[in-house]
C-alpha cells in the first residue's frame, strides 16, 4: 500500500496514525519499509503499566473528585477508557471520559493533506474547574500535547491539566513532561514506536521499528 503524505501525525493512511506524535516530514511512503524489530511491551506489560498509572492518578489527586480523563485521538482514547475502568474498580465510582481531536489545532496544519481526517471531539461534560488527565499513547516532541491543551482551553477552564502516556520516547521540542508514564523508551529519530490496541489494531502490544529507505 502506497500512502502519500507530509506528516506522520495526520496522514490519511489509517495504519500509520499510531505514529501520532512524530513530526518528521516525509514526502512518500514508497520505498519506506517499517518492520517491527523488537517488542517493547506485550499485552500483560501494557495492562500492568495502565494499572500502575491508574493508581498513581488516584494517589496524586487524592481520589477521583472532580477528575476527568480525556483521550487524544486515536489510540489515546481506548487507553483512557481502560484507565477509567481500572480507577472505577479501585474507587467504586465512574470517572468521565472524553475524546479530543486536535487536528485543527496543530501548528503544522498547513503541512497536512488538503483534507485532513477529523475523527471528532466528544466531551459531553463541563471541564471547567475539573482536574483533567490527558491520555495519549506516545509522547515525542510534545507538539500534540500543546495542541491538546489549546483545544481544551477553547472548551473550558480546567482547574489543572495532567498528562498520562504509555510510552515516553524522548526528543522533546517543547518544555512538556508527562505526569504519568508507562515506560520510558530511549529512541533514535529514525525509529518508530508502534502502540497497538485491540480496539483499533486487533492486538495489544508496543513494538519498535526502523524507518529505512
Average pLDDT taken over every residue of the chain = 83
Q: Cβ distance 174 to 147 under 8 Å?
A: no
What are the pLDDT digits (tens) for 132-143? 999 999 999 999
What are the pLDDT digits (tens) for 15-52? 333 343 443 333 233 334 468 899 999 999 999 999 99
What pLDDT is stored for residue 103 in this prediction? Answer: 85
Provide DSSP, 34-73.
--EEEEEE-HHHHHHHHHHHHHHHHHHTTSSTTEEEEEET
**Cα angle, residue 11 at apex, residues 162 and 138 outer, rounded to 5°:** 30
Of 77, 50, 68, nearest in space to 167 by CA: 50
pTM metric for this prediction: 0.81
Q: Where are the domains of the chain?
A: 34-210
Q: Which CATH number fits domain 34-210: 3.10.530.10, 3.40.50.2020, 3.40.50.800, 3.40.50.740?
A: 3.40.50.2020
Amino acid at each position: 500500500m502506497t500512502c502519500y503524505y507530509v506528516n506522520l501525525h495526520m496522514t490519511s493512511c489509517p495504519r500509520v496514525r499510531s505514529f501520532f506524535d512524530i513530526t518528521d516530514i516525509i514526502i512518500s511512503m514508497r520505498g519506506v519499509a517499517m518492520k517491527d524489530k523488537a517488542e517493547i511491551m506485550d499485552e500483560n506489560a501494557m495492562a500492568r503499566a495502565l494499572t500502575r498509572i491508574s493508581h498513581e492518578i488516584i494517589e496524586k489527586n487524592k481520589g477521583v473528585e472532580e477528575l476527568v480523563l480525556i483521550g487524544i485521538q486515536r489510540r489515546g482514547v481506548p487507553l483512557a477508557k481502560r484507565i477509567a475502568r481500572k480507577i472505577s474498580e479501585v474507587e467504586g465510582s465512574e470517572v468521565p471520559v472524553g475524546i479530543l481531536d486536535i487536528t485543527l489545532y496543530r501548528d503544522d496544519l498547513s503541512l497536512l493533506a488538503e483534507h485532513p481526517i477529523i475523527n471528532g471531539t466528544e466531551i459531553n461534560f463541563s471541564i471547567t474547574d475539573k482536574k483533567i488527565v490527558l491520555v495519549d499513547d506516545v509522547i515525542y516532541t510534545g507538539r500534540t500535547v500543546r495542541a491538546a491543551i489549546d483545544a481544551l482551553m477553547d472548551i473550558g477552564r480546567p482547574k489543572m491539566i495532567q498528562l498520562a502516556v504509555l510510552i515516553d520516547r524522548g526528543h522533546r521540542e517543547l518544555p512538556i513532561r508527562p505526569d504519568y508514564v508507562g515506560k520510558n523508551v530511549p529512541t533514535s529519530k529514525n525509529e518508530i514506536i508502534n502502540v497497538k490496541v485491540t480496539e483499533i489494531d486487533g492486538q495489544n502490544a508496543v513494538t519498535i521499528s526502523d524507518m529505512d529507505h
